[in-house]
Amino acid sequence: MKGSFMNISSDKKSYLFLCAAGVMIVFACGRWAAPVANWIALTFMLRFLRMQKPVRGLFLGLAVYFAAISIAFYGVMLVPNIVLFLVTIGIISIISFIPFAVDRLLAARLEGFLSTLLFPLAVTTIEYAASFSPASGGFGSLANTQWPDLPLVQISSITGIWGISFLMSWFSSVLAWAWSHDFSWDRIRKGVCIYAVVLVAVLMFGGLRLAFYQNVSKPVMVAGVTTQRPIKPHFMEWLRTSKCPPVEESIAELKEKTDRAALTGARIIVWNEYTALISSQDEPRYVQRGQDLARKHGIYLLLSVAVMGNSKKVDSDNIAVLIDPRGKVVWRYSKSHLAYGVESFFMVPGKKDIPVVDTPYGKIAAVICFDMDFPSYIRLAAKKGADIMLVPSNDWREIAPWHTYMAGFRAVENGFTVLRVTGNGYTAAFDAVGRVLAGMDYFTTGSYLMSAEIPTRRVATVYSIAGDWFAWFCIVSLVAVSVFAVRKGKQCGLQQ
């Protein structure tokens, strides 16, 4: 069997690697994302491209990549129709394939282990640039697939998620480089040892951070309340008639669960995103019901609701309102990053400013769902000294629970506690090292109410202070290495 494979021509072998890459990519992202798959899938694509002529290889590689992520993300992305889905996937594919093109066109001009850096530098640069896109944020980062590996996740407290993406893509590049040298230990020993030392150091740092992390602050009991009532029928009715259901009908279930959470000791209670659709005329009454509840129980209540305007206009608003124990409205926050292809069609985005208030339970901040997918934006709360981040959210089955786990990265990056309360998804509380303090699956729970004791003081992190320094280091390094590769290629051409 081995002899048969060895007898296959190099060109045919490359197509086997391309097929392997396609299959692995399907299981490396999207609905079936497996943590280990991302470390391996990219290697097969790199191997295929390096065995093919640039134009043909890049064209075929991009086509397979497009097909693979179309399968992986079908049903995951909320887009109105298949045409927009395919256009979106096409744009994502082209942007995501840039690092492969950089590697194929420039890596061969470099000698030795230095060539392995081009691909991870390009991946990190592209991911960082994409994190500012209003359509994606950090949603597509390789790092998001690695949540179960908490020792690895800890490096994001220094580098942000960009350090994890760099390590993953560097692994693929090193493996492809070793493969090109037929895994000859004498030729690859130094390079493999360099990567191994870096990876082990990262994992040791993560293990020590998890082992020695201790938050001595006095904990507070919090609760997440999710509504059992589906929002889609009300939304479809609003699209047809611009009318919303009665306020009292919307708030009855939430009131009962809030009463129950407060009686069991919760001092901070959060409602999930899209608990209801209400008209702008009904907003004062809806908020008043929340004020009555907060005053009655002496709690901080963060209610979240969609204030709908005319379905033919872009004048609706997705808001979170924080009410203090006296029943006073502390703030009214509008979602700053609207879900691409859905909310962006009928809602007005809020100002890019995260509210933070000092309370007996530390400084509390809040954003809404998709806002948490933008690392640089969430860091604004850490710069204001936030200790607890409250996140009303609403997902769908295909992105649960890993969309909630993405919020866990923000906890590790910034050193604060995150409470993400999610309708149609996974509700969880994370501490500053990403440990899940409590969790609730919307699709299996019977109570739609989760309680947890959480820390009330943040811990300082390098990322919260220095920001995206590692991403910028990768950008500068990519430019420097690319220029060096181009000049070296020209010199070789002159010599020849």
33 contact partners, CB below 8 Å, separation of at least 6: 27, 72, 144, 145, 402
Helix (H) or strand (E) holding 130: helix 118-130
Q: What percent of the chain has pLDDT over 90?
A: 81
Comparison of pLDDT for 4 and 82, the residue scoring more: 82
Query: Is 182 inside a domain boundary?
Result: yes
Q: Kindly state whether residues 62 and 182 are assigned to the same domain.
A: yes
Query: Is 438 inside a domain boundary?
Result: yes
Q: Kindly state whether residues 394 and 410 are assigned to the same domain.
A: yes
pLDDT tens, position by position, 177-190: 999 999 999 999 99
Q: How many CB atoms lie within 10 A of CB 478?
A: 21
Q: Kindly state whether residues 454 and 480 are assigned to the same domain.
A: no
- Is there a contact between 193 and 171 (Cβ–Cβ < 8 Å)? no
- Give the C-alpha separation, 493 to 496, whole Å: 5
Q: How far is CA 172 from the centre of its chain?
A: 21
- Between the alpha carbon of residue 79 and those of residues 104, 135, 338, 343, the distances in Å are 33, 11, 13, 10
Q: Kindly state whether residues 366 and 483 are assigned to the same domain.
A: no
Query: Is 306 inside a domain boundary?
Result: yes
Q: Kindly state whether residues 200 and 342 are assigned to the same domain.
A: no
Query: Is 334 inside a domain boundary?
Result: yes
Q: Kindly state whether residues 204 and 228 are assigned to the same domain.
A: no
- How many residues in the chain? 496
Question: To 10 degrees, what angle do helices 118-130 and 98-106 make?
Answer: 150
Q: Kindly state whether residues 51 and 177 are assigned to the same domain.
A: yes
Mean pLDDT value across residues 377-383: 97
Q: For residue 496, what pLDDT is reported?
A: 40
Q: Helices marked H in 213-332 — which ranges?
A: 232-241, 247-263, 283-297
Written as one letter, the residue type at 281 is Q
Q: For residue 408, what pLDDT is reported?
A: 98
- Give the C-alpha separation, 246 to 286, whole Å: 10
pLDDT tens, position by position, 1-57: 455 555 566 778 899 999 999 999 999 888 888 888 888 889 999 999 999 999 999
Query: Is 35 inside a domain boundary?
Result: yes
Q: Kindly state whether residues 414 and 486 are assigned to the same domain.
A: no
What is the pTM assigned to this prediction?
Answer: 0.93
- Give the C-alpha separation, 333 to 365, whole Å: 10
Question: To 10 degrees, what angle do helices 54-73 and 37-50 make?
Answer: 160
pLDDT tens, position by position, 5-17: 555 667 788 999 9
Query: Is 2 inside a domain boundary?
Result: no
Under the banding of pLDDT at 50, 70 and 90, the label for residue 495 is very low
Q: For residue 101, what pLDDT is reported?
A: 97
Kindly compute the dihedral angle of the four CA atoms of residues 397, 400, 381, 328, in this order, to the nearest 10 degrees: 50
CATH number assigned to the domain comprising residue 356: 3.60.110.10
Q: For residue 12, what pLDDT is reported?
A: 82
Q: For residue 492, what pLDDT is reported?
A: 59
Structural domains of the chain, count: 2
| Residues forming beta bridges with residue 268, ordered by sequence position | 222, 300
Q: Kindly state whether residues 166 and 243 are assigned to the same domain.
A: no
Q: For residue 274, what pLDDT is reported?
A: 95
Checking if the pLDDT of 94 tops 90, the result is yes
Checking if the pLDDT of 299 tops 60, the result is yes
Q: Kindly state whether residues 416 and 309 are assigned to the same domain.
A: yes
473 contact partners, CB below 8 Å, separation of at least 6: none
221 contact partners, CB below 8 Å, separation of at least 6: 264, 265, 266, 267, 268, 451, 452, 453
**Preceding peptide of 401 cis, ω within 30°:** yes
Q: Which domain holds residue 358?
A: 220-458
Checking if the pLDDT of 135 tops 90, the result is no
Q: For residue 270, what pLDDT is reported?
A: 98
pLDDT tens, position by position, 334-363: 999 999 878 988 999 999 999 999 999 999
Mean pLDDT value across residues 385-408: 96
Q: Kindly state whether residues 347 and 406 are assigned to the same domain.
A: yes
- Between the alpha carbon of residue 319 and those of residues 38, 188, 283, 304, the distances in Å are 36, 55, 10, 6
Q: For residue 7, what pLDDT is reported?
A: 52
SS3 85: helix
Q: For residue 3, what pLDDT is reported?
A: 53
Query: Is 152 inside a domain boundary?
Result: yes
pLDDT tens, position by position, 138-150: 988 999 999 989 9
Q: Kindly state whether residues 292 and 199 are assigned to the same domain.
A: no
Residue with tokens 């590697």: 103
pLDDT tens, position by position, 457-494: 999 999 999 999 999 999 999 999 999 999 886 665 54
373 contact partners, CB below 8 Å, separation of at least 6: 136, 137, 138, 139, 337, 406
Q: What is the mean pLDDT of the chain?
A: 93
Query: Is 464 inside a domain boundary?
Result: no
